[in-house]
Amino acid sequence: MPAKIKILFLAAEAEPFVKIGGLADVAGSLPLALRSLPFEATGGAMLDVRLVLPFHRAIRAEVATLHQAAEFSVHRHGGNIPVQVLEISSGGMPVYFISGAPISNSPTVYSPNPALDREKYAFFSLAALELTRQLDWYPDIVHANDWHTALALYALRSQQPDPQLRRARTVFTVHNLPYMGGDGSDVLSAYGLMPLNDDSLPKWAQTQPLPLGLWSADAIIPVSPTYAQEIQTPGFGCDLDPYLRTRTNNLSGILNGLDINTWNPETDKALAACFNANELPVRAVNKAALQKALELKDDTRIPLLVMIGRIDQQKGLDIAFEALHLMADKSWQFVLLGSGDRALEDAACRLQMDFPDRVRMAFRYDEALGRLLYGGADMFLMPSRYEPCGLAQMIAMRYGNVPVVRATGGLKDTVEEGRTGFLFGEASPGSMVEALRRALTVHADPEKWQHYQRNGMREDFSWPRSARRYASIYHSLLSGL
């Protein structure tokens, strides 16, 4: 085992530079957590993890702290594309930002135009690999995340001419299986990547980035143990389940951790009042602040239910809206913070029209309001149809906000019925109503409710536990050489 293991960590987004969703939380904290593991957790090796991100327009970085790390070009059909790489140090870790025309041509992190995204991320993936050659820093492990960076693994496996780079082992974390990147035949051929000639993957998948990443990976890591099982079944496998079952031996789920310093109700400046597990009544100050700001009835005894997240079919918002209709006889208030799917946003507006006194919507990304909702509301709803891991329910628990969730993926692995939250099985309003009624009954007994809150707040969702599991995967891949 080398004294130092070099890990190239590739992602489309990472905190604190740019965030769209949970991937940014993970890519922002896992590399640092890996770097700070004690030697006994890494087989005595130092983990030299380096993060590479596209230099999106939205990147937040002090320009003065950036310096140029490399300049080279990536070959594309019809000519070379110049690449400029800027570097910054984040908590002692080198972070590289790749820039070039396919990245600057696309104004947002993820574009509504899939072709623009495929071009951007294919270019990014290949430039990130080439960067390691330019720096003469050859990784032992290339760790990619989701479809955006999957082609780096495929390029490494299928056509990498440099033997020093080719010997790297590959890890692919799957945060969201259904987003595969679409048919990439055009970019594959434009960037000179050979089509896959292996029928272990279904024909349609042989040109899509995510399946090619799965095919190329030595280790496939879905972001929770339950999701790792689920994607091997027809209900969740998006037609890749037969292939994934052939990879069972290379597939294991690792739950995402939470950055417990960023998410800490004792120090969170966005809260009206900070608190810990021994000062739960203080939370009422945050609830009162929310009711005032959102012009809801100012009565902190009314259960306040919230949802925070992308407004997407995946998240089961329609199930929650219908369940709330079915619970009209009960006393509750409901706040939704998020944006996304227009039809679901319209459905949310209809809910607000039906319950004008007790429903509020905020269709935007709002970090501060999100934090106040975590720290002031009573119940956190996540009726997801599928949920690879889910961070929001872990944040909610850490803030004494009791989750009511569907028993799927990471929700099932992190929330425990009767101890930290309430679960329901079927993705239906009726099933959710049963869980909500159980929750409201317990909520009516403050002592019992505080039990749930404290249990949730004392759960250990910190990164070191998950980072150790990643380190042992790296270790086993490299010992197998």
Contact window for ligand ADP (CB under 6 A) among 21-29, 54-62, 430-438, 472-480? 21-29
Residue closest to ligand ADP when measured from CB atoms: 22
By beta-carbon proximity to ligand ADP, the closer residue of 345 and 366 is 366
Type of residue numbered 22: G
Q: What sign does the dihedral 345-237-387-475 (CA atoms) show?
A: negative
| Helix (H), strand (E), coil (C) string for 136-149 | CCCCCEEEEEHHHH
Residues 80-112 as b or e (16 or more Cβ within 10 Å = b):
ebebbbbbbebeebbbbbbbbebbeebeebbee
Contact assessment for residue 355 and residue 330, using Cβ atoms and an 8 Å cutoff: no
Taking the complex as a whole, the smallest distance from the CB of residue 421 to ligand ADP amounts, in Å, to 15
Q: Which stretch binds ligand ADP (CB under 6 A): 3-11, 243-251, 362-370, 440-448?
A: 362-370
Euclidean distance between CA atoms 396 and 457, whole angstroms: 9
Comparing CA positions, the residue from 205, 201, 199 lying closest to residue 185 is: 205
Which one among 10, 18, 21, 158 touches ligand ADP, defined by CB under 6 A?
21
- In the complex, least distance from residue 263 CB atom to ligand ADP, rounded to whole angstroms: 8
Q: If we measure between CA atoms, which residue out of 458, 457, 308 comes closest to residue 382? A: 308
Which 393-412 residues touch ligand ADP, going by CB under 6 A?
395
| Residue 222 interacting with ligand ADP (CB under 6 A) | no
Interface stretch with ligand ADP, choices 62-70, 148-156, 390-398, 469-477 (CB under 6 A): 390-398
Q: Which stretch binds ligand ADP (CB under 6 A): 20-28, 121-129, 153-161, 233-241?
A: 20-28
Among 247, 310, 438, 451, binds ligand ADP (CB under 6 A): 310
Q: Is 72 in the site for ligand ADP (CB under 6 A)?
A: no
The residue within the footprint of ligand ADP, chosen from 181, 265, 338, 421 (CB under 6 A), is 338
How far apart CA 319 and CA 382 sit, in angstroms, is 10
Q: Rounded to whole angstroms, how far apart are CA atoms 300 and 283?
A: 10
Give the interface segment with ligand ADP, choosing from 75-83, 141-149, 345-353, 360-368 (CB under 6 A): 360-368
Nearer to ligand ADP, 339 or 408 (CB): 339
Whole-angstrom distance, CA of residue 48 vs CA of residue 206:
33
Q: Compute the CA torsion angle 385, 423, 24, 314 (nearest 10 deg).
A: 10
Q: Which of 31, 102, 181, 309 binds ligand ADP (CB under 6 A)?
A: 309
Q: Are strands 304-308 and 379-382 parallel, antiparallel or unpaired?
A: parallel
Minimum CB separation of residue 455 from ligand ADP in Å reads 20
Of 86, 180, 361, 391, the one binding ligand ADP (CB under 6 A) is 391
Residue pair 53/14 in contact (Cβ under 8 Å)? The answer is yes
Binding ligand ADP (rule: CB under 6 A), the pick from 5, 7, 212, 337 is 337
Distance (Å) of CA 228 to CA 249, 260, 406: 12, 25, 17
Per CB under 6 A, does 316 bind ligand ADP? Answer: no
**Strand (E) or helix (H) holding 132:** helix 114-135
- Contact by Cβ (8 Å): 353, 253: no
Total of residues contacting ligand ADP (CB under 6 A): 18
Residues 98-117 contacting ligand ADP, CB under 6 A: none
Identify which of residues 366 and 459 has a Cβ nearer to ligand ADP in the complex: 366
Q: Both tokens of residue 3? A: 């004294």
Identify which range of 3-11, 77-85, 334-342, 345-353 contacts ligand ADP by CB under 6 A. 334-342
- Least Å distance between CB 345 and ligand ADP? 12
Kindly state the DSSP code that residue 462 receives in the 8-state scheme: B
Find the helix or strand (DSSP H, E) in which 246 lies.
Answer: helix 241-246
Indicate the pairing of strand 402-406 with strand 4-10.
unpaired
- Minimum Å gap between C-beta 448 and ligand ADP is 27
Interface positions, 367-386, toward ligand ADP (CB under 6 A): 367, 370
User: Which lies closer to ligand ADP via its Cβ, residue 110 or residue 332?
Assistant: 110
By CB under 6 A, tell whether 181 contacts ligand ADP.
no
- Site residues (CB under 6 A) for ligand ADP? 21-22, 25, 308-310, 337-339, 365-367, 370, 389-392, 395
